Amino acid sequence: MKMFRFIAAGLAAALSLTAIGSTAYAAGGGTKPPSHEWHHAGPFGTYDRHAIQRGFQVYQEICASCHALGQMSFRNLGQRGGPFEDGNFPNPNDNPIVMQIAASYQIMDGPNDDGDMFERAGIPADTYPSPFENEQQARASNGGAYPPDLSLIVRARGYGEDYIYGLLTGYHDAPEGYDLAPGQYYNDYFPGNAIAMAPPIMDDMITYADGTEATMEQMAEDVTVFLTWVGDPHMEARKQTGWMVLIYLFIFTIIVYLAYRQIWANVKH
Amino acid sequence: MSGPSTYEPKSGFTRWLDSRLPIIRLGWDSFVDFPTPRNLNYWWTFGGILAVFLVIQIVTGIILAMHYVPHELYAFDSVERIRRDVNYGWMIQSMHANGASFFFVAVYLHMFRGLYYGSYKAPREVLWILGVVIYLLMMATAFMGYVLPWGQMSYWGAIVITNLVAAVPFVGDAIREWLWGGFSVGQSTLNRFFSLHYLLPFIIAGVVGLHIWALHVPGNGNPVGLEARKGDDNKKDTLPFHPYYTVKDAFAILVYLMVFCVFVFFLPNVLGHADNFIEANPLSTPAHIVPEWYFLPFYAILRAVTFDIGPIDAKLGGVLAMFGAIAILFVLPWLDTSKVRSMRYRPLTRWFFGFFVVAALGLGWCGAKNPDDYVLGMTGFKFLYLGQFLTLYYFAYFLVILPVMGIVEKPKKRPASIEAAVLGTA
């Protein structure tokens, strides 16, 4: 059947596209981290809401002392698909948990009518405050290394969430003969292996609000899920819309195919 | 093939309009009554698919331009804002970025169709040349569009590509500065690329108009490569475009859109590069700078020339080879000496064509790899050598194989007419 040959050709083209795309994609260097099973993977995957909440706590209490999250506003925490989404508050700016989190930060605002800058409590519309004023200050406080903004860190790395999880759990003593400069640590998955970030998380560093045991692996996994959500906050809506679009197109295609068969039924071609 | 018009205005208004601006007649003659060979296969549906994708790109692009900020400090964040805060911005941005890829998939299949069935041969040379012009405009548009998100690959890709013009002897540096609007890729470059990226699609739309005009003078080619007969026999060889090909194209467009939507909604970033989620940073060069997948074969040809040829140094040689790879398509109608259009009746040349397709895909593979890496781990066999061999074949196909084959090859017996081919009688 011509139609099946056509569809087969289409699929072959799509597959080779993906193959070429992923070869270009993976050309980032570094060891391939082991692949992890993520709740949000696959065409039906959704974020594990509890994991994002715990991950936000890990970020807040550990990562946020060095890493900014410049693309995220407090209101995002309460939006559809976010960790503190609440059906009673469709407008996340009204969400009490979000308001409370925002208010716990002091935000520099101004200038006021006297021309002075001033500090005030945060509101949901504020972006998450950065730990440093600028890159120079961040480098000065971190031995010359610049802790990157984590808003897009999962998307900006070749192996995505597997890389982040691998990096957080991949610290070891340097193998014999490997020279580490002072202030550097050996990591299995960081390109070149010498990373300036000290092992950031250890067992029981924080106490989870929901009582989950705070092992290193648990915290690494939770914060990775949180950062995946920050990088792709509309993933759930995207997949749901995708299924509706595909179902619609599929039915439409069948109808058009039947019309095609009928119109061409008595035509030699 | 386009015969006398059969349009008859029915109402008073259409009669009045027809004697003043016969635009309904134009539409009727071009897309309803237009006689189309009855034996077109699915490879002929990509023209319609391309028209749909041009519209998708223009519509999504206009919406994106309402929110995008062409400034070196804000461009990256403005794209991120579109993905996060603009209503359905994540969908529109994904459609536009993946739409470019699917536009190129369709145009490559359309071009390979033309190469296999000899669509470039008389009397369709101008039609083919206009197609190559569209392809060049598409490449320029796609390149400048990829710069706009101002990620690391955008920025460094722009540097690599604009540096190519510096290879031009004597005036290269001056042209490069003129392109940049300064002494490096920066604010002026981004701003003018945005302006041109908005302009070129409308020029593409104009050339597409000419392309369709040039198509409708001789009419469609077809898989057997015979012209539809004139006069009374015309009806036996052709069918009116509507409803026969409107419904067939619609079916193909829908199937293609389904594959497109799988990428838009489930794999939105798989065709992009992770480094482009890092904001452009002039102080940090990415480990490997690779262009978008649809440019990879030409990137491999650019890098294949690693040696000086007389007064031409390796860099200029690579640039000439890369542009030559496209320029050669303009003269293709006069390089192929065979009078037989369709490869179905060219038993030897079709094998060379098959390997040409493999070579084009192989060049794409080489373009994605580091030229010093070994092919499939075979020590000594670098991607550079594979790229050089395939580049040689690419040019040999046009400059040696097609001209010679037209003379030495004995084509198979062709049917007497399209009607005879359809009925299976010779």
Mapping DSSP onto H, E and C, the string for chain B reads: CCCCCCCCCCCHHHHHHHCCCCHHHHHHHHHCCCEEECCCCHHHHHHHHHHHHHHHHHHHHHHHHHHCCCCCCCHHHHHHHHHHCCCCHHHHHHHHHHHHHHHHHHHHHHHHHHHHCCCCCCCCHHHHHHHHHHHHHHHHHHHHHHHCCCEHHHHHHHHHHHHHHHHCCCCHHHHHHHHHCCCCCCHHHHHHHHHHHHHHHHHHHHHHHHHHHHHHCCCCCCCCCCCCCCHHHHHHHEEEHHHHHHHHHHHHHHHHHHHHHHHHHHCCCCCCCHHHHCECCCCCCCCCCCCCHHHHHHHHHHHHCCCCECCECHHHHHHHHHHHHHHHHHHHHHHCCCCCCCHHHCCCHHHHHHHHHHHHHHHHHHHHCCCCCEHHHCCCCEHHHHHHHHHHHHHHHHHHHHHHHHHHCCCCCCCCCHHHHHHCCC
Please give, rounded to a whole number of angstroms, the shortest distance from the CA of A85 to a CA of chain B.
Answer: 16
Structural domain contains residue B131: yes
Please give, rounded to a whole number of angstroms, the shortest distance from the CA of B173 to a CA of chain A.
Answer: 30
Structural domain contains residue B180: yes
Structural domain contains residue A243: yes
Which pair of structure tokens corresponds to residue A26? 């993976």
Average pLDDT over residues A191-216: 94
Phi-psi region of A143 (alpha: psi -120 to 50; beta: other; left: phi over 0): left
The radius of gyration of chain A's CA atoms, rounded to the nearest angstrom, is 24
Structural domain contains residue B277: yes
pLDDT band, residue A31 (cuts 50/70/90): confident
Structural domain contains residue B398: yes
Structural domain contains residue B362: yes
Which pLDDT belongs to residue A2?
Answer: 55
Inspect the interface and report whether the beta carbons of A17 and B90 lie closer than 8 Å: no
Per-residue pLDDT at A24 exceeds 50: no
Please give, rounded to a whole number of angstroms, the shortest distance from the CA of B368 to a CA of chain A.
Answer: 5
Phi-psi region of B181 (alpha: psi -120 to 50; beta: other; left: phi over 0): left
Is residue B229 within 8 A of residue B202, CB to CB? The reply is no
Per-residue pLDDT at A17 exceeds 80: no
pLDDT band, residue A268 (cuts 50/70/90): confident
Per-residue DSSP letter, A42: S
Which residues span the domain enclosing B355?
27-423
Inspect the interface and report whether the beta carbons of A260 and B251 lie closer than 8 Å: yes
Which pLDDT belongs to residue B377?
Answer: 86
Per-residue pLDDT at A75 exceeds 90: yes
Which pLDDT belongs to residue B52?
Answer: 98
- Quick: pLDDT tens for B389-426: 999 999 999 999 999 999 999 999 999 999 999 887 65
Structural domain contains residue A47: no
Which pLDDT belongs to residue A27?
Answer: 42
Q: For the domain that residue B84 is a member of, what is the CATH number?
A: 1.20.810.10
**Intervals of chain B under pLDDT 50:** 1
B240: which chain A residues are within 8 Å (Cβ-Cβ)?
none
pTM of structure: 0.93
Which residues span the domain enclosing A249?
234-264
Structural domain contains residue B44: yes
Q: Please give the distance of CA A135 from its chain centroid, rounded to a whole number.
A: 22
**CA–CA dist B106, B256 (Å, integer):** 9
Structural domain contains residue A248: yes
Inspect the interface and report whether the beta carbons of A28 and B287 lie closer than 8 Å: yes
Task: Round the average pLDDT of chain A to a whole number and report it.
Answer: 90
Tally the domains of chain A: 1
Structural domain contains residue B302: yes
B365: which chain A residues are within 8 Å (Cβ-Cβ)?
20, 23
Please give, rounded to a whole number of angstroms, the shortest distance from the CA of B274 to a CA of chain A.
Answer: 4
Helix residue ranges per DSSP H, A27-78:
49-61
pLDDT band, residue A12 (cuts 50/70/90): low
Structural domain contains residue A184: no
A2: which chain B residues are within 8 Å (Cβ-Cβ)?
41-42
Tally the domains of chain B: 1
- Quick: pLDDT tens for A76-98: 999 999 999 999 999 999 999 99
Q: Tell the burial category of B378 from Cβ atoms under 10 Å away from its Cβ (0-12, 13-18, 19+).
A: exposed
B244: which chain A residues are within 8 Å (Cβ-Cβ)?
263-264, 267
Average pLDDT over residues A131-143: 93
**DSSP 3-state assignment of A77?**
helix
Which pLDDT belongs to residue A132?
Answer: 95
Structure ipTM: 0.92
pLDDT band, residue A30 (cuts 50/70/90): confident
Structural domain contains residue A144: no
